[in-house]
Structure 1
Amino acid sequence: MMEYEILGNSVQTWIISLLFVLGAFVVVKLISFLSRKFLEPLVRRTRTGVDDIVYYSLEPPLKFAVMLLGIWIAIHRLVYPDDLVKYVDNAYRILIVLDVTWVLARLSGALLQRYWGQKSDGHFQKMTPVVKRTVLVLVWIIGTVTALSNVGVDINALWGTLGIGGIAFALAAQDTVKNIFGAITIFTDKPFGIGDTINVNGMEGTVVDVGMRSTRILGYDRRITSYPNYKITDASIVNISSEPMRRVTVKLGLTYDTTARKMAEALDILRSLPAKVENVSRNPSDITAYFSEYADSSLNITFYYYIEKQGDILKAMSDMNMAILESFGEAGLEFAFPTRTLFVQQDGSECRTDGGPTAGR
């Protein structure tokens, strides 16, 4: 029975080949057990971080290499056509190079994360994901080209073939290329970093990620919006997180029966209010209040003040508005609202309406 042939190989040969595959699987499990039980605790106890990076980079590719070795021995014990042998050997050459590339990709990613992401300054630290992705793409491109070259693929001819369709591909991928250069521009120009609150063409939110294709912004409605990088670089960007203070404009309208003395009193009240509201700048140069115009139904005042960086903007604005309302009420200053005056002729045959200044009654 053991000498019975299946596809040109005896049952005994098939069983031994399967045992090699099973043995490789057992070795992989043994490596996982030993590394988790002994090697990983030992690596964690050392002060240097180099051994952690090497351990992280080597373990999965090493287990994959063991499985490749077991399957390769099992396959080469079997008898099969020469053409198939060539294809199997070429496939293994590619897999071996890709396994080495996997090691280099994991090693470069871990090194970047540790020595760029943890030890660089704030801006470059926030940009670590983009740098890491770029390096990994380059490593895998080089590894793939090397693997194809090892199996006899003419790389120059391959590039020439790709060049024929390069124009069509470039037209199809022009937005992707623009997005990649947009990410590089964000790197170098540093208009914002991850965690900054920005305003892009009226959309305001917090930057949560900058990728090779898009920048993701978390809006105040807790929704994430992805903007293509090239649109970000072409847009007008306001970095709210970098502003030292936030200027607030308040327009007030008083009734037309407000006297000059009362108007002067209103302006004095506004100039004194920042000293009474928390997180509002008390610097006199940051406080502006002036009688701005005669409107249709009101005497208008324009008031500027600044909220300090550490302050809650919405709360400071609310506190200031409450202070204005209370102070004007105590001073007897009345706010105006739009009104119309009706004129009727004595015979009642014609009437007209005119907008005009009246008290807020």
Structure 2
Amino acid sequence: MEKSMQGGFFTKTFYGNTVGDWLVALLIIVAAVILGKVLYWFLKNVVSKFTASTKTKLDNIILDMVEEPVVFAIIIAGIWYGLKTLALSEGFEIWVTKIYYILIFINIGWLLTRLFDSLVENYVVPIAEKSKTDLDDQVLPIVRKGIKLVIWVVAIIVGLNNAGYDVAALLAGLGIGGLVFALAAQDTVANLFGGFTVFADKPFKLNDRVKINGFDGTIKEIGIRSTRLVTLEGRMVTIPNKIFTGTPTENVSSEPKRKVSLNLGLTYDMGVTEIELAMKILRDIAEKNENIEGDPLVGFNQFGDFALNVLFIYYIKKGAGILDTQTEVNMEILKQFNENKLEFAFPSQTIFTKSI
């Protein structure tokens, strides 16, 4: 009696398949997932130890990049095979097969882009970093992204083709919405042309400090569509390349030297001798500092409201620490002015009273 009840349950039909058929399909899918997990563990914990002991790191890279795509391939193959064991409608079977082929080739594209990206990162980037020119540092990210894009496009096209779609007809159909696409892609096209302009004119290069559109920072990546810089506050900013074609860009790093201008106000108690001494001290400080280039400009330039102003202009050499040099100069000014009793003025007001 119990056997007949069990047999009756497994022979019940749902959507054209018995409960037993559904369970078999489910077991196949679960087995594929388990197999994928076991294979991933085996590759991660057993095979990786073997590759780590070899002299080359190429096998480590390949293993690390193929682990997840291989597991994903096993899982989707298990799902596809499990569903194929069922008696499904012809339309649903065709739909499942198409999805399967598309996923397979997307997975292949994922594998190839991961492998390509890792090989470039481990072998090509170090060579580019060691080269003297900055051109390869700028071009490499664009070539890298371009090749990855080509891989993805080819994988999707091949996947659609194997799924039974007429790719040529799909591409031809894009012409119908070409106008709409062109209007929607105006900014993208403008950014692409902006990228070409940046590469042609070279207003800056990697690691240059620039000021543009209210941002002040260091260029970290020059792409075909956008450029990234890190601001002085440490924030990453992505700027569309079209901005560079219509906005003045100040390349701070291209300056041959940094001009520093100081207006030092001395009290009105200071006489001619003290003013001359102050100017001599400033000239000596500039001449003795190795980071200052050329002759400084020093002069008594103004009778201020509450101070006698001495103008001090000097130029910091390119490559020298800007803030460090300014600190050294300012500390030396403060030290020598104090030693020679040259007093700095501060906003003050003298009131004279007259008795009537």
Q: TM-score, normalised by structure 2?
A: 0.77
Q: Which residue of structure 2 lines up, in the alignment, with residue 109 of structure 1?
A: 117
Identify the match of residue 75 of structure 2 among 46, 67, 82: 67
Aligned match of 1:204:
216
2:230 matched to 1:218?
yes
Counterpart position of 1:166: 178
Q: Is 1:280 aligned to 2:291, yes or no?
A: yes
Contact 1:214-1:227 within 8 A present in 2 as well = yes
How big is the shift at 1:201?
Answer: 5.0
Q: Helix, strand or coil: the match of 2:210?
A: strand
Q: Distance in 1 between matches of 2:196 and 2:54?
A: 37
1:152 lines up with 2:160 in the alignment: no
SS at match of 1:192: coil
Alpha carbons 1:179, 1:229 under 8 Å: kept: yes
Q: Look up the match of 2:323.
A: 314
Task: Output aligned runs, 1:322-341, within 5 Å.
Answer: 322-328=331-337
Amino acid at match of 1:303: F
For the residues of structure 2 that align with 1:83 and 1:274, how far apart are their CA atoms? 86
CA 1:81–1:118 in structure 2 vs 1: closer, same or farther (change >3 Å)? same
Query: 1:246 aligned to 233, 236, 258, which one?
Result: 258
User: Is the CA contact (8 Å cut-off) linking 1:118 and 1:125 kept in structure 2?
Assistant: no
Moved more, 298-307 or 254-263: 254-263
Deviates most, 94-103 or 48-57 = 48-57
Structure 1 Cα separation of the partners of residues 51 and 255 of structure 2:
45
Paired residue total: 342
Alpha-carbon distance between aligned partners in 2 of 1:302 and 1:61, rounded to the nearest angstrom:
68
Give, in angstroms, the shift of residue 217 of structure 1.
3.5
**CA contact 1:113–1:128 (8 Å) conserved in 2:** no
Give the 5 Å matches for 1:75-94. 75-94=83-102
Flag structure 1 segments of 5+ consecutive residues without an equivalent. 343-347, 349-361
Going from structure 1 to structure 2, the CA distance change for 1:187 and 1:46 (only over 3 Å counts) comes to: farther
Matched letter for residue 314 of structure 2: Y
| RMSD, aligned α-carbons | 3.8
Judging changes above 3 Å, is the alpha-carbon distance between structure 1 residues 223 and 12 closer, same or farther for their aligned structure 2 residues?
closer
TM-score, length basis structure 1: 0.76
Separation (CA, whole Å) in 2 of partners of 1:20 and 1:91: 18
Aligned partners of 1:71, 1:201: CA distance in 2, in Å? 52
Change (3 A) 1:128 1:56: farther
Q: In structure 2, how many angstroms separate the alpha carbons of the residues matched to 1:46 and 1:242?
A: 47
Corresponding position of 2:28: 20
Structure-2 change in CA distance of 1:163 and 1:146 (3 Å) = same
Distance change >3 Å, CA 303–CA 186, structure 1 → 2: same
**Cα distance between partner residues in 2 of 1:265 and 1:41:** 74
| Residue 33 of structure 1: aligned partner | 41
Deviations 1:152-180 (A, max 9, x none): 33333322322232232222222223334
Distance 1:300 1:166, change over 3 A: farther
Gaps of 5+ in 2: 1-6
Alignment of 1:228 onto 2:234: no
2:205 maps to what in 1?
192
Amino acid at match of 1:121: E
- For the residue of structure 2 that corresponds to 1:120, the secondary structure is helix
Preserved contact between residue 275 and residue 300 of structure 2 (Cα < 8 Å): no
**Residue equivalent to 2:3:** none
| Counterpart-to-counterpart distance in 2, 1:71 and 1:333 | 87
1:28 touches 1:67 (CA, 8 Å); kept in 2?
yes
1:39 is displaced (CA, Å) by 0.7
